[in-house]
Amino acid sequence: MTGQTTGLDTTELNTGQTPRAEIGVIGGTGLYEFLTDAEEVQVETPYGDPSAPVTVGTVAGRSVAFVPRHGRSHQYPPHAIPYRANLWALRSLGVTQVLSPSAVGGLRPEVAPGDLVTPDQLVDRTWRRIPSYVERGATHVPLADPYCARIAKTYAAADPSVKTGGTLIVIEGPRFSTRAESIHHAAQGWTLVGMTGAPEAALARELRMCYAPLCLVTDMDAGAAEGEGVDEDDVYALFAENLERMRTVLADTIGSLPDPAGCSCSSWADGKQLAYDIP
């Protein structure tokens, strides 16, 4: 990495050594406190700065790199998050497994506010984001199964109340769905609606990283519930109530994540010439 624009700026570090991490977490600002021995790393990427400096520390004896998805002061709305820089920054620190907690709406009666869900399918309805590192040539990344089954299994083992399976549809935001959109999404059989799960999953796959979401259902989406539709204050309140539980699931998951070696999240690219670099 030395001498490349993708290198780490080690001038910020006290130790003079660039910390490395095996596991990445992209999540809300409320998750900072679970890192011990935390150290801040400024990572430059060819795609600009990540949402914030990456914090590298230890959780359950494992080295973890944390990026607050929306920035330190929640300055990046979903459509303006530097997704490519965030994933690139984690990969350049050595990360090969990414946990992605987020808040979502529920679309169907299988889920209710307060549920933690790790879906197994994704529908990408975003349209203003750059969803790929491929800028010339052609690499067609397999995404039939968008999420790492090993990580999903580990979430469920960490907390048996975590629901597994279902489809997450990602909308552009930042506005919530109209009632008609919400009814349409539910009628397709889709389970959850969020604003940040794409392009994160595809970018992680391009960088050969295992990636799986851990979604907290904060509300039933506009068309799925009676009443006024989604209220932003309710979403934040429910998220705050469940933060501790989410932290516990994440920490327990981190402590027992299996070796990513040989996982199809990475092995799809074995022997292939990719049309982009991996840091």
Nearer to Zn ion, 70 or 150 (CB): 150
CB of 86 to Zn ion, least distance (A): 18
Active-site option among 221, 234, 270, 277? 221
Active site (annotated) includes residue 221: yes
CB of 270 to Zn ion, least distance (A): 14
Please say which residue, 95 or 148, places its beta carbon nearer to Zn ion. 148
Q: Which is closer to Zn ion, CB of 65 or CB of 148?
A: 148
Neighbour tally for 185: CB within 10 Å? 26
**Bridging pattern class, strands 192-194 and 210-220:** unpaired
Instruction: Report the chain's C-alpha Rg in angstroms.
Output: 18
Please report how close the Cβ of residue 210 comes to Zn ion at its closest, in angstroms: 3
Q: Which of 195, 167, 181 is nearest to 224 (CA)?
A: 181
Which is catalytic among the residues 37, 124, 219, 259? 219
Task: Show Cβ contacts of residue 235 under 8 Å, excluding neighbours closer than 6 positions.
Answer: 103, 218, 219
Yes or no: say if 124 and 131 are a contact pair by the CB < 8 Å rule.
yes
* Ramachandran quadrant class, 117 (left: phi over 0; alpha: psi -120 to 50; beta: rest): beta
DSSP-derived pairing of the beta strands 116-118 and 163-164 = parallel
Interface contacts to Zn ion, rule CB under 5 A: 148, 150, 210, 263, 265
Please confirm, yes or no, whether 233 is among the known catalytic residues: no
Compare residues 151 and 249 and give the one whose CB is closer to Zn ion. Answer: 151
Q: Nearest approach, Cβ of 204 to Zn ion (angstroms)?
A: 9
List, by residue number, the catalytic residues.
219, 221
